[in-house]
Structure 1
């Protein structure tokens, strides 16, 4: 609109100026002949008569005040002329300079014009058009006829046109803005509704829907969104029901299997008591049966514990306890396994400095799970256990120097039944639920259970517990990332085994479980 307005203003301004200029030149040419006719008859008269005739001619050219005002002046060229300069307004003589006079002298038969401006009575500059021509009168000399035309009327016309265009531009701008706002609302309001509905769905309100009206593309998007939300809600409901059924199935099966398992365990115990009199093959079979029964019993216990977590029925039996003491007790429980693997347990931490309110049974289970996993994956290397505390939390780290884990697998080790190497030999009969139960035990206290490691160097597990269950923890007393140097740490306990290790068959040891470590 600005460009169009500027273009129209320029065109109209040029048209008005050219029209007024042509009119002024035509009037000036006519006045030239009138000057010859007025001063020709008095060429032989006295100077006073000639002066009066020139003055009367100038006054006849002058028009009244107004938007089309015109002033004139007659200026003698020669100093010996019989008259002096005559003007209806002295401003006409003030506007003539040497350049304009020289242009008149170059060709006496042409009209010379120039755009000038002068101040009106109010002090504002007004556009003017100065036109001049040279007239030669035989017997009287040469005279310059000057005429000053006002362009005020043209200026007023141009101002009126500009105001009209500005008013039209404002109306058009308002119309365009209104249309733009209307179109924008038609587009953005449905999108805002879709965004609000998506946010509500993200917050868990799966029943949220968009308001749809019309049959345009946005309405089609809204209907598609609502259909997607309905399908998502139905899928979530189906998955929730499936999960509930699965949890109930696991719980029911675990409970139902306890009774026949008890009978089988009693029968196995009778066979174990009389196995010394069996044939070697039958005795070996009895030992394998006893081992698998204990593993089955451990699996059922873990499934029942997981089902309690899933149902939200797990509770804490919290009391004040020392984490270092629990670590020492757990280390004693797994020492037979460490002896069989040639693993050295290095314990760091002082008893009595890690007091916290916790459930000792659950924390003992977590510690035994971590220690057994470290021994099983440690490849005979040392296992370092460090305890520490600060003003808000207590922590323990269990570090091994075996196969290790990749950084991307560190978070997955707590998934149920997940194994970094599915093909590895399960010599200890792990259920794959130990770490999953351990992390749930840690969360039940309001704590953390985290893993970190490097493939081929080792792994570190860190358990951090608040001083009181549920209290906030800003930082752990121990770092998670630690060095994998196998040099004994200062303050570590002596090696768990000195001298030679007696030959012990793994299946004759107490079965502890790879992940859950039941004593």
Structure 2
């Protein structure tokens, strides 16, 4: 699941706070640890030096008894040549060899941290100097337990973690404030985009400031203004074209009525030869022109939004039979029409749909044409299938477009290209759907889905 901008800002601020706190805490831990240990070691060295400078204990090579006395006096390990003595609980084995070698070679006070039985200690070693011969050859090693310092160092990570946790609250507050400042114009843009998507092209957003979001708002306003002007112009052009089609269609009706009366009179005359051929051609083209005008008028009604339904209880199977019989298609169309009960339909408009689909199958497909009726509790379905080559993939998405003729994919075409568009509009007016495709066994198939009841 993708996080929103607010959550991402909160996570980013938290990560930055935690990483920064962890880095600072780690650096502080190392620094404090070194300071605590260095302070303990420095104090131990100063005390050891002060004890050594308090008196000069001997000016000759010590005996073992004198080494023991030195060890207990200084609470240390006393070493001379191959002899050594221990005092105050520290043993010779606890003194690392590398520390003894460095003290012997460098003849100065040195400190080393060691672990004895899992406990931390600081071990300091120094040569014992005399007043006449300088160095006596005796080395003294004292140790100090660092348990208190170790406890103090162990508490440092807990303190650092507590500081990091305490820093999360201001980080979260800053993240929320930053998200609020960023999301306010983003929400306004989202709301404006939704209004534009809903058709409110006059939507404008207040633009203030000089940052990137303000530039985005100004760009949005410029885009919506340009879009509003373009859509308004397209609507004006579309309205003019629809008005032109409607006006032309209505103006053609009067002369077309006269032409139809003349062609009917010519059909009644017993003409022969070229006169009969010419009269038949005029009669045919006049009928085509009349059908085109009627289709254009019907399309103009859909475009103007004045096309309405007159629903009534209709037995769809009986309506299919009546449609086929009225047009003389009963013998060339196979039907499978089980009784599906009445549905609330506009009889005239459904008849137009069926006539267009069956006529289209007979003209552009091949016989036999099959009409199958199916039903469910909520809808009735009519499938019209022909036995032709079917619809090409590039043709199927366009078959319901106006003036898209089937002869773009098939050889024979006599229609105007408006029949399927009118059928689609009539089905849509019922609240149903009209789909075009191919049957599994070949041939084009048109599927009409109509709701049983008006919602």
Task: Return the TM-score normalized by structure 1.
Answer: 0.66
Match of 1:320 among 313, 318, 335: 313
Q: Which residue of 2 aligns with 1:446?
A: 431
Contact 1:73 1:145 in 2 (8 A): no
Match of 1:421 among 394, 401, 407: 407
Q: Which residue of 2 aligns with 1:480?
A: none
Structure 2 matches for 1:186-265, cutoff 5 A?
Answer: 187-265=182-260
Mapped to 2, the partners of 1:388 and 1:168 lie a distance apart of 73
Q: Which residue of 1 aligns with 2:422?
A: 437
Distance 1:126 1:424, change over 3 A: closer
Task: Tell me by how many angstroms 1:414 deviates.
Answer: 1.1
Tell whether 2:373 aligns with 1:378.
no
Return 5+ residue gaps in structure 1 as ranges: 59-71, 87-92, 119-124, 471-519
Mapped to 2, the partners of 1:179 and 1:355 lie a distance apart of 67
Mapped to 1, the partners of 2:213 and 2:354 lie a distance apart of 58
Tell whether 2:84 aligns with 1:98.
no
Q: Which residue of 2 aligns with 1:331?
A: 324
Q: Deviations over 1:370-414 (max 9, x none)?
A: 1111111124x3111212223222222111121321244323211
Task: Tell me by how many angstroms 1:226 deviates.
Answer: 0.3
Match of 1:395 among 381, 402, 424: 381
Tell whether 2:346 aligns with 1:359.
yes
SS in 1 for 2:399: helix
Mapped to 1, the partners of 2:274 and 2:231 lie a distance apart of 54
Q: Which residue of 1 aligns with 2:452?
A: 467
Task: Tell me by how many angstroms 1:295 deviates.
Answer: 1.4
Distance 1:99 1:433, change over 3 A: same
Mapped to 1, the partners of 2:449 and 2:152 lie a distance apart of 88
Contact 1:74 1:144 in 2 (8 A): no
Provide the aligned C-alpha RMSD in A: 4.7
Distance 1:361 1:173, change over 3 A: closer
Tell whether 2:296 aligns with 1:303.
yes
Match of 1:6 among 26, 32, 35: 26
Task: Return the TM-score normalized by structure 2.
Answer: 0.74
Mapped to 1, the partners of 2:244 and 2:256 lie a distance apart of 18
Distance 1:74 1:448, change over 3 A: closer
Q: Which residue of 1 aligns with 2:13?
A: none
Task: Tell me by how many angstroms 1:415 deviates.
Answer: 1.2
Distance 1:129 1:76, change over 3 A: closer
Task: Tell me by how many angstroms 1:282 deviates.
Answer: 1.7
Contact 2:79 2:140 in 1 (8 A): no
Mapped to 2, the partners of 1:97 and 1:176 lie a distance apart of 56
Task: Tell me by how many angstroms 1:461 deviates.
Answer: 0.9
Which deviates more from structure 2 when the two are superposed, residues 327-336 or residues 363-372? 327-336
SS in 2 for 1:411: helix
Q: Deviations over 1:109-134 (max 9, x none)?
A: 6656443699xxxxxx9976332457
SS in 2 for 1:415: coil
Mapped to 2, the partners of 1:233 and 1:105 lie a distance apart of 92
Tell whether 2:333 aligns with 1:345.
yes
Bigger CA radius of gyration? 1
Return 5+ residue gaps in structure 2 as ranges: 1-19, 131-135
Distance 1:18 1:370, change over 3 A: same
Which deviates more from structure 2 when the two are superposed, residues 175-184 or residues 415-424? 175-184
Mapped to 1, the partners of 2:383 and 2:279 lie a distance apart of 39
Tell whether 2:113 aligns with 1:115.
yes
Mapped to 2, the partners of 1:101 and 1:226 lie a distance apart of 80
Distance 1:446 1:225, change over 3 A: same
Mapped to 2, the partners of 1:226 and 1:103 lie a distance apart of 80
Contact 1:403 1:455 in 2 (8 A): no
Mapped to 2, the partners of 1:402 and 1:347 lie a distance apart of 17
Mapped to 2, the partners of 1:454 and 1:269 lie a distance apart of 42
Q: Which residue of 2 aligns with 1:32?
A: 52
Distance 1:287 1:25, change over 3 A: same
Task: Tell me by how many angstroms 1:302 deviates.
Answer: 1.2
SS in 2 for 1:335: coil
Q: Which residue of 1 aligns with 2:10?
A: none
**Structure with the higher helix share, 1 or 2:** 2
